[in-house]
Chains A and B, each alone.
Chain A
């Protein structure tokens, strides 16, 4: 080959290589490659702007739950690697996190995404963060993100407010737009009104540089959206009353439920012992939760709605009302206090209805119920009792017992009003008579109610025959009370029947022989009824149910203190103080207050 012809070989090689390059460009740029997506994924970053969650307020606008800033520490493994590694020991000392936990968190971040920041420590309170934020620059790849967390500064009404915490797998799969790391209401009002409280997240798209710092908005922000603030929920609670109730119930177990009888609005829901929702948020939630769970006094248990107690003597008023309505007694009917079957207390022998309630006469109501349930209409006592109970149970349920009270209180248990089915199951059909079931006549036996039901009963007494379904929300986002929260429910008992009962309730408190004299409030006519409920061989439960003032009542409440003793001694004074607090706004009965505050009823060692 002529040497000059070698120019064609060299020219050919040049052309061949250029052809290969153009082919490669074609493949990379025009072929079905994913490079476009890949480039977008690493250069574009979506910034989620969480909306401020709506606050939860009391009826007077005082804050129950609000948001405060906290910080998450994030770690981007690649940045640390590029900078030559991270001093994990120094970091663990700086942020006060156990080094083995830190290393675990770092490994998790590494496994998730090398060039994306992943959280290694969440919800660091503002004060704690301030102590080490100045040191963070020393640690490559570590950055912080501000987020707001929920705070219940007073620690009040935790059982009602409920938990707000990180979403779990189920929430993420629910299709409601939750993302990994989002928080949501998990119980109580936080869960019930989640959709309104949550607001709408905003999204900002950024172009980022290789250090993942935002550089400029993507496409001039045309895809961005602004966050929409969550709505505030105003509850019906009276924070002062709620806080006072919680203070009175310190070192005790039990519940106080207070309502406005005229509106059905719940004023206080005290479940003792209690905790603060703040205790269950933040980085120590796990250990705190386990601590609460192990406590034998069950602080996590919402006694106002979940505990079902025997109502005890307060049930006698319903018995009396229905008996009057049924016509089996008149206000003046006197019944011999025959203590053969049921014991009684005090010296009385032939009480009328009012006296029987004041004295809490057990044989009286045993006889009253017998007249209703087993009047002798049928051949056998079994058939008779069965028919009688079938008439009796629905009437009791009209007082709300054994029902969900309209269903506006999430988590409320119905309790139990025994009917024929229950006894047929227990004893067999036609195998039981009144003599088998008589203990329900005085509020014992198979009868179970929650403190909310008892407070609602007080409302019925206050209203002389009707109640508004109890509810806890006054307003959401300035749009007023959500519809259908307050519907009126009639008990079907003639109003005149209430006169002697309310007379009796007044006497319980005001008459010197009354069992509830400790419920007196100076200057206010309080109507109430004590209850003392058996709890095996332990100290009895103290129960009190009241409303005040007698005319145009503004508060109806129930007090239940577990294993405290008699209702008159331990539940009545609490009711008295609650009524005084709500109606007068301050406490003059300091001696009574001191007595209650000092009383403790430790969990019985059984």
Chain B
């Protein structure tokens, strides 16, 4: 093993640049979202943007430290990281402080730490270690079950907080599994299930009871049947053309159907169990009329903030919707509203393109690795960043229910910023070693 004395030359500076731009844009938008519409006291370290600046500096130092740690360290200590984080996730359920109904934070004096942010890189590391140990392929049922357990433990623990957004992020690691050989049926089945669920919620006004599927929407059932017929017809054609596909096609169809049934009944049962305000949020999203006029308050105001930005926005520090509290959590989960209101379509589209470019760049990094570990870890990074991006943007644009989850490098908050810094810079260190390390 040759120690890289020219680490600076081997770092993927494109990724560093994109992450740096995101951090600076994020910081400016945090400043604007929290400082009223006209003046910012840039030297006020107690303000949100002052704290965020301190976190940016800390993360810069953290990034440099990581880049100077041998990649081998992360590989060897991945189990340890994972165990520590699982213990922290267990601890936070007991001694964490309750914020907004969820026990997700450790309160340490004036600062709060969210352990689930650090569990993300740890889980990605362990998953990479697990899958790269053998031949790097997800062939055996044992490896699959182990992988699911690695994802499932932090996912379940965050669901207990409850923090459904983070649970979904851990679930997003399924993209990494897919790249490593998990059947594509799972993705298709998941997609079908999602479609049927949406359809059944949309038509879920009338509910009929059935002994073995529980409470189910009458029209929802009709939808499921229609989807099933559609799937069968869709599958019949390749079935007849290529008879040897028959078995696979059958599997896809049945898996999709069962997944759709389970998910939609699950969602319906879940909706019944949810507190009223959360159920209404889901119903509002699907355009169902809810008698509570404030049920769609958050999403209505988020859309108004973005929509009122127009083509070029109202200008930096000139967005009253976000600055004066009309948008909830305007400096964290809803930070994109400030982008939309103050920078308009041009600025928002630029941020979307920036995220797309970053994700595709990391995808490219993943595929240029000789090391299975680095590739799988890179896919973990893509999955986690993509899920955050997907859920957050879809939420503020009114395309998904309100699930509080930070927009990477934009949202204010030290824990998430450090978590994403760890995630990306560990990858950059591993990537920098790609020519010198044979694994």
Contact = CB atoms under 8 A, between A and B. Distances in A.
A290 interface: no
B180 interface: yes
B398 to A, nearest CB: 8
Given A22-B349, A39-B305, A81-B294, A29 B397 contact: no
A425 interface: no
A335 interface: no
A15 B363 CA distance: 12
B124 to A, nearest CB: 15
Contacts of A216: 36-38
Interface stretch (A206-214, A251-259, A357-365, A541-549): A206-214
Contacts of B356: 14-15, 18
B306 interface: yes
A20 to B, nearest CB: 7
A220 to B, nearest CB: 10
B304 interface: yes
B382 A10 contact: yes
Interface string A1-44: 10110110111001101101110111011100101101110111
Given A29-B306, A216-B36, A210 B324 contact: yes
A114 interface: yes
A22 B347 CA distance: 11
B359 interface: yes
B303 interface: yes
A14 B359 contact: yes
Contact of A26 (B179, B304, B345): B345
Nearest to A25: B348
Contacts of B349: 22, 25
Contact of B390 (A17, A30, A78, A208): A17
A437 B325 CA distance: 84
A43 B355 contact: no
A38 B308 contact: yes
B311 interface: yes
B178 interface: yes
Nearest to B181: A3
B8 to A, nearest CB: 28
A215 interface: yes
Contacts of B294: 78, 81, 114
B399 A20 contact: yes
B360 A11 contact: yes
B324 A28 contact: no
Contact of B178 (A10, A24, A28, A29): A10
B86 interface: no
A25 B320 contact: no
B307 A18 contact: no
B162 interface: no
Contacts of B187: 9
A10 B356 CA distance: 12
B309 interface: yes
B178 A35 contact: no
A33 B309 CA distance: 12
Contacts of B303: 28, 35
A206 to B, nearest CB: 10
Interface centre among A1, A6, A20 (most CB of B within 10 A): A6
B324 A207 contact: yes
Contacts of B405: none
Interface residues of B, number: 54
Nearest to B325: A210
B307 A36 contact: yes
B307 A21 contact: no
A106 B340 CA distance: 37
A29 B38 contact: no
Contact of B397 (A1, A28, A207, A215): A28
B159 to A, nearest CB: 24
Contacts of B390: 17
B345 A30 contact: yes
Interface string A74-88: 000010010000000
Nearest to B191: A13
Interface in B239-263: none
Interface in A33-58: 33, 35-36, 38-40, 42-44
Nearest to A30: B345
Contact of A10 (B179, B306, B345): B179
A211 B326 CA distance: 9
A30 B305 CA distance: 13
Interface string B43-80: 00000000000000000000000000000000000000
B50 to A, nearest CB: 21
Contact of A35 (B37, B307, B366, B393): B307
Interface of A is mostly: helix
B238 to A, nearest CB: 14
Contacts of B382: 10, 14
A347 B125 CA distance: 133
Given A10-B175, A43-B326, A21 B310 contact: no
B307 A33 contact: yes
Contacts of A15: 356, 360
B367 A7 contact: yes
A155 to B, nearest CB: 47
A25 B390 CA distance: 14
Interface string B157-187: 0000000000000000001001111001001
Nearest to B326: A210
B220 interface: no
Given A10-B179, A209-B324, A29 B359 contact: no
Nearest to A10: B175
Contacts of A25: 306, 340, 345, 348-349, 352, 397
A215 B37 contact: yes
Contacts of B38: 216
B321 interface: yes
B311 A29 contact: yes
B306 A208 contact: no
Interface string A196-208: 0000000000011
Contacts of B320: 39, 43-44, 207, 215
Interface in B355-377: 355-356, 359-360, 363, 366-367
B401 interface: no
Interface string A96-123: 0000000000000000001000000000
A21 B306 contact: no
Contact of A7 (B137, B344, B363): B363
B36 A215 contact: yes
Contact of A6 (B178, B300, B311, B397): B178
Nearest to A33: B307
B409 interface: no
Contact of A43 (B293, B311, B321): B321
Contacts of A211: 325
Contacts of B310: 29-30, 36
A112 to B, nearest CB: 13
Contacts of A114: 293-294
B84 interface: no
Interface in B301-359: 301, 303-311, 320-321, 324-326, 340-341, 344-345, 348-349, 352-353, 355-356, 359
B179 A29 contact: no
Contacts of B309: 29
B308 A24 contact: no
Interface string B174-204: 0100111100100100000000000000000
A216 B35 CA distance: 13
Given A21-B393, A28-B303, A215-B37, 17 more contacts: A6-B179, A7-B363, A7-B366, A9-B178, A25-B306, A25-B340, A28-B306, A28-B307, A29-B309, A33-B307, A35-B307, A38-B304, A39-B320, A78-B294, A208-B324, A209-B324, A209-B326
Closest 5 CB pairs of A and B: A35-B307, A39-B308, A209-B324, A210-B325, A43-B320
11 contacts: A4-B367, A10-B179, A14-B356, A21-B397, A22-B349, A25-B349, A28-B306, A29-B309, A29-B344, A215-B324, A216-B36
